[in-house]
A = this chain, B = another copy of it.
Amino acid sequence: MQKMTMLKKVATRKYPEQVVLVTTKSRKGKMNAMAVGWVAIASGDPMMFVLGIDDGAYTHELIRQTKEFVVAYPGEKMAAQVLYVGKNHGHARDKIKECGMKIQKAAKIRAPLVADAVANFECKLVDVFQPGDCPLVVGKVVAVHENRSPAVKRLYTVGPGHTMGSVRIKNG
């Protein structure tokens, strides 16, 4: 049975929630990464992602500038790095270097792959919509990479305050 309640109360019942990393590289060569929780698949063929990326974020600026970005599923050992790039702003610093995130060259775009991720999706910008208080960035996947180790699993947001952790299937 349901009871009417406030949004804030229900927010604590949504976890575990997915999280991805979004990497970008400016025309001048500066790289950046951020964490995004508002993400879903937006199209199957071609595959697209839709991501909520605030227009105050450096990532938003670099996506507008370069029309490309990488979406990566962080590996479960990357909790500290995901928190770092999620909580700090990229305009004035080199978050990737500061948190020790390992990167690799992508195949078709200039933004970097996340070496320790479960998977990386190179994306070209398709469009930006804004139905509410956050721009929704849509990217088309142009190349896909996966971790060579099948043992690497996704990291999730597992509780309020951006608590990061691993999940396992119950009885699975």
Q: B-contacting residues of A (Cβ < 8 Å)?
A: 1-7, 9-10, 13-18, 37-48, 50-52, 73, 104, 107, 113-115, 117-121, 126-127, 129, 131-134, 136, 138, 140-141, 143-148, 154, 156, 158-159, 165-172
Contact = CB atoms under 8 A, between A and B. Distances in A.
Given A140-B132, A167-B168, A168-B167, A145 B42 contact: no
Contact of A1 (B16, B115, B136, B171): B115
B104 A1 contact: yes
Q: Which 5 interchain pairs have the tightest Cβ spacing?
A: A43-B132, A40-B40, A166-B170, A2-B145, A131-B138
A13 B146 contact: yes
Nearest to A118: B13
A47 B9 CA distance: 14
A24 to B, nearest CB: 17
A16 to B, nearest CB: 6
A155 B21 CA distance: 24
A72 to B, nearest CB: 9
Contacts of A131: 42-43, 48, 50, 126-127, 129, 138
